Amino acid sequence: MKIAVIGAGPAGMTAAYEISKQLGKQVSALDVFEKSDRVGGLARSIDLWDQRVDLGPHRFFSHDTKINTLWLEVVRDRYNIVNRQTRIYYKKRFFDYPIRAFNALIGLGIFEAVRCFFSYLFERMFPTRDTSTFEGWVTSRFGKRLYTIFFKTYSEKLWGISCRELDSDFAAQRIKKLSLFEAIKNAIFQGKGNKHATLVDQFAYPIGGTGSVYESMQEQIENRGGQVHVNTGVEKVITSGGVTHSLQLENGEIREYDHIISTMPISLLVERLPEVPLPVMEQAKKLTFRNTILVYLRVDRSNLFTDQWLYIHEQSVDVGRVTNFRNWLPSVYGKSESSILCLEYWCYFDDELWNQDQEELIIKAGKEIVRTGLVNEGDVKEGHVVRLPRCYPVYFSGYRDIMKPVEAYLTSVEGLHAIGRYGAYKYNNQDHSILMGMRVSENILDNAGHDLWAINTDYEVYQESSVITKTGLVTKSS
């Protein structure tokens, strides 16, 4: 078989890595095409001011033994364990995230804490009926007051739409079964077997940054005879009679393949397919993505704040999240005495923010970080901007109904496999995308028949769970 992979993010690289093990056997040719200048996708790492940084905060964590085993196979012993600290910034105060009862009480004050408690009791007595939206889903689990304080502002910054227009799938995938009761129970009985997946406070992190995982995959793919083509964009996939047979590169070159794994944005993939029915194309055009602007600031201090990242719920600034790479591993900042902060802004293509030039964005970010009180006036020495188009698939209300005909059509095209955050329109963590890459390789090589669309849709139950520790994999049967 000749196999191509479009996109070198976690899903695409994992698929190629697994398939490369069969080069010279079941597979005669394997090509990965990546539009940017390096592998890793949204999880890539870059070198900046003599330090190593990621594209925002990227932690790896999974309970799935197969995923953890693969990660360790690639990373080997080149990782360490990070003690996670992430907090919420709200009204010039910092709150632990996930929410801890006593921290929230002290931070909000007695009066506000009592209001939140009675709001939660009111929700228990008179439950929100419509939980199909993000607002309804979160309110039903935390009460209206806590929803407004700790979820609404941040979520509307991220998505650019009202939480009443945002589907509950976003909450179900990110917050899962967590509720105020679970948060309080975790705070009181921490470490006694009650921890929810959202409350994990340690994670494994590669010494060379998150992107080094996929750089190691690239090295092994190429050592086995595969080819990873960076700075090489794909224009479209070409089909005939419902069968995939080739792809066209942006330079016009056409290459033939038996299977094509696509992680390019699903809307672009479908719109450019030659045989797609008009109704399916029209539905695909309705799928929207949110862009991210990353503004890196070099701050002339090494002791800013202790969090790996902060969620900014303050309405007075546009920044939504701030990452402090000084608090990951010493290997990423080396001998530097400076700290690199990454400020995240989210927007659409037609927003004014997306079209601002680099200097304007650096000035804006510098002013906002000083306004938060995290950095003093004059501490910011220089900046760097990275623009990431189509980062987040927007889970607007009714998106699932739009996805159904798109999924059905793509499933019907022989030899075409859509995976990843972009390709499957799923708000994936790294582990979800790695799992997609593993399973698509099994579908191609072993006819496994995995339903790739089901990954990161429903709660996942593992017969055997595990966690990565500093000494390796610790497995526990459920």
What DSSP assignment string belongs to 330-392? HHHHTT---EEEEEEEEE-TTSTGGGS-HHHHHHHHHHHHHHHTSS-TT-EEEEEEEEEEEEE
Question: What are phi and psi for residue 377, nearest 5 degrees?
Answer: -55, 130
Domain ranges of the chain: 2-40+210-286+396-456, 86-200, 289-393
Confidence grade of residue 199 (pLDDT, cut at 50, 70, 90): very low
What is the CATH T-level fold of the domain 289-393, as seen in this structure? Polyamine Oxidase; Chain A, domain 2 (3.90.660)
* Residues ≥6 apart with Cβ < 8 Å to 381: 298, 299, 300, 338
Helices (H), 224-357: 266-272, 278-285, 330-333
pTM: 0.91
Note the pLDDT tens digit of each residue in 405-450: 999 999 999 999 999 999 999 999 999 999 999 999 999 999 999 9
Question: What are phi and psi for residue 89, nearest 5 degrees?
Answer: -105, 120
Q: Which two tokens stand for residue 47?
A: 């070198």
Please work out, in degrees rounded to the nearest 5, the angle formed at the alpha carbon of residue 46 by the alpha carbons of 214 and 369: 130
Confidence grade of residue 91 (pLDDT, cut at 50, 70, 90): confident
**pLDDT number for residue 265:** 96
Average pLDDT of 152-169? 91
**Given CA atoms 385, 390, 391, 395 in this order, what sign does their dihedral have?**
positive
Task: Give yes or no for residue 325 having a pLDDT over 60.
Answer: yes
Taking the C-alpha atoms of residue 466 and residue 428, their distance in angstroms, rounded to an integer, is 20
* Residues ≥6 apart with Cβ < 8 Å to 162: 135, 156
- From residue 33, how far is each of 143, 277, 302 by CA, in Å? 47, 27, 39
* Residues ≥6 apart with Cβ < 8 Å to 410: 266, 269, 270, 416, 418
What is the CATH T-level fold of the domain 2-40+210-286+396-456, as seen in this structure? FAD/NAD(P)-binding domain (3.50.50)
Question: What are phi and psi for residue 34, nearest 5 degrees?
Answer: -125, 125
Task: Give yes or no for residue 194 having a pLDDT over 60.
Answer: no
